[in-house]
Amino acid sequence: MAHAFVAGSDRPEKAVIRAGFMPLTDCASLVMASVLGLDEKYGIKLELTRQHSWSGMRDRLLQGEIDVAHVLYGLLYGVENGIGGAATRMAVLMNLSRNGQSITLSRALARQGVTNLAQLAAAMRKGTRRYTFAHTFPTGNHAMFLYYWLAAGGIDPLRDAQVVTVPPSQMAVNLAAGHMDGFCAGEPWSTRTVLDGCGFTAATSQDIWPDHPGKALGALGAFVDANPHACRSLIAAVLEAGRWLDESSEHRDVAAEVLSSPAYVHGDRHAIAARLHGEYENGLGRRWLDPDPVRFFDEGEASFPYVSDAMWFMTQHRRWGLLRDDVDYAAIAARVNRVGLYREAAVLAGVPAPSSLMRRSVLMDGKVWDGSVPDTYISSFPIRRQAMVGA
């Protein structure tokens, strides 16, 4: 496929692509694709709009007010399967990031000697009070990682704890006020609570699942069907931006500067830069250079829309009763994740693409996920929402 997609019959159907993003560090590749003008290189123009909530982002996608979104992987599959609303055919164009989220616990817990999962589980087993944990969206990545982490420690998140959704900007104030014990969210919000002194990083998301998928570049299935050339150009542009981000720490410094502006993340440049570089400080005096920090490219590995990654979110939706019935996990993921279009874009941008649709991952509890037998995988978890008669 040596011919240029941009000209002739492969010309993008749409010159302007409206993209929604949330003010989070991992919107970097989408934002930089626009800032560096990589979109125009592929014959499109990105029009970025900042969103205030995941629900609002979802509604705008469904209404066609935005064309594509920097969005929680789990949320897209929640919409695809009609969890909490009408089912709508969605599409994943690519994975935007890996790693770089965190579980933060309150400093009050640390003062009582709770600094890790085992100690948290022991404290909760005493049953002297109710523990509350927050995530950012009921079907989202942070909810699934939080539940996974707690359950790996023997805590049933739905029975032994109270779980709430809290906007990331309210996490620190609620932790400081003692309204909750911990939360799972993205950056720069986790760093912010560490810097504010009200929380400490108890686990990174890469501790839970090394190289886990993060935000997806999502769209309506119908939009991708109607605009394949524009979508291919968009993927290529964002792939280039991801490559640029992972290329050097100077580039990430530039990105941190850009993201810190009020138009994007609106936060402290240094707070954004540190974890972008993998420089961690847990808030209890431990500092380290993380070998698996947030990644946007990783030689094309981080951006590939693995079918097994998508299936994992559905297995967790089923595990926690969000999905009420088994679905054809593999078939849905293969339809939603537009691997074919991605591969064409990868050729366009000169990016290597893995040959397999599935990958093998070992999560924190030693369990292997390779996309092969989802039903067995779901029932292998001792802690899960049990099927109920008539439910």
Partner 1 sequence: MKQPSNARRTLRIVVVTTVPGDIADEAVLAAQARRNTALRIGLLESGYDIVASLPADIFLPERIAQIQPDMIIIDSESDARDVLEHIVIATRDEPRPIVLFTDDGTPSSMDAAIEAGVSAYIVAGLHAERVKPVLDVALMRFRREQKLLDELSDTRRQLADRKLIERAKGVLMARNKLTEEEAYQRLRSMAMNKKLRLAEVAQRILDVEDLLG
Q: Select the span of 49-57, 105-113, 353-361, 368-376 touching partner 1 (CB under 8 A).
A: 49-57
Q: Which of residues 144-183 bind partner 1 (CB under 8 A)?
A: 164-167, 169-170, 173-174, 179-180
Residue 189, token pair as written in the block? 């919000």
**In terms of Cα–Cα distance, which of 389, 314, 387, 321 is closest to 158?**
321
- Which of 141/361 has CB closer to partner 1? 141
Residue 131, token pair as written in the block? 């523990």
Residue 135: φ, ψ to 5°:
-135, -170
Q: Select the span of 58-66, 93-101, 208-216, 273-281 touching partner 1 (CB under 8 A).
A: 58-66
- Which of 382/390 has CB closer to partner 1? 390
Site string for partner 1, 289-328 (x = CB under 8 A): ---------------------------------x------
CA 309 to CA 369: how far, in whole Å?
Answer: 9
Smallest distance, Å, CB 65 to partner 1?
Answer: 6
Positive or negative, the CA dihedral 354, 355, 357, 360 is: negative
Site string for partner 1, 11-30 (x = CB under 8 A): --------------------
Q: Select the span of 92-100, 135-143, 206-214, 248-256 touching partner 1 (CB under 8 A).
A: 135-143
Tell me if 105 sits within 8 A of 114, measured CB to CB.
Answer: yes
Residue 159, token pair as written in the block? 């029975």
Question: How many residues in the shown chain lie near partner 1 by CB under 8 A?
Answer: 37
Q: Which of residues 203-262 bind partner 1 (CB under 8 A)?
A: 262
The number of C-alpha atoms within 13 Å of 274 and in the hemisphere containing its C-beta is 18
User: What is the helix, strand, coil percentage profile of the chain, to 5?
Assistant: 40, 15, 40
Out of 41, 89, 132, 277, the residue judged to bind partner 1 by CB under 8 A: 132
Q: Which of residues 61-80 bind partner 1 (CB under 8 A)?
A: 62-65
Smallest distance, Å, CB 146 to partner 1?
Answer: 13
Smallest distance, Å, CB 180 to partner 1?
Answer: 6
Interface with partner 1 includes 356 (CB under 8 A)?
no
Smallest distance, Å, CB 42 to partner 1?
Answer: 29
- Which of 42/131 has CB closer to partner 1? 131
- Which of 37/85 has CB closer to partner 1? 85
Tell me if 316 sits within 8 A of 212, measured CB to CB.
Answer: no
CA 72 to CA 67: how far, in whole Å?
Answer: 16
**Residue 211: how many other CB atoms lie within 10 Å:** 16
By CB atoms closer than 10 A (0-12, 13-18, 19+), residue 40 is middle
- Which of 136/361 has CB closer to partner 1? 136
Q: Give long-range contacts, CB 8 A cutoff, 24+ apart: 363-369.
A: 363/148, 363/152, 363/208, 363/209, 364/148, 364/149, 364/152, 364/207, 364/208, 364/209, 365/152, 369/308, 369/312, 369/315
Q: Which of residues 256-275 bind partner 1 (CB under 8 A)?
A: 262, 266
Out of 1, 7, 289, 389, the residue judged to bind partner 1 by CB under 8 A: 389
Tell me if 103 sits within 8 A of 221, measured CB to CB.
Answer: no
Interface with partner 1 by CB under 8 A: which residues?
52-56, 58-59, 62-65, 83-86, 88, 132, 134, 136-139, 164-167, 169-170, 173-174, 179-180, 262, 266, 322, 389-390
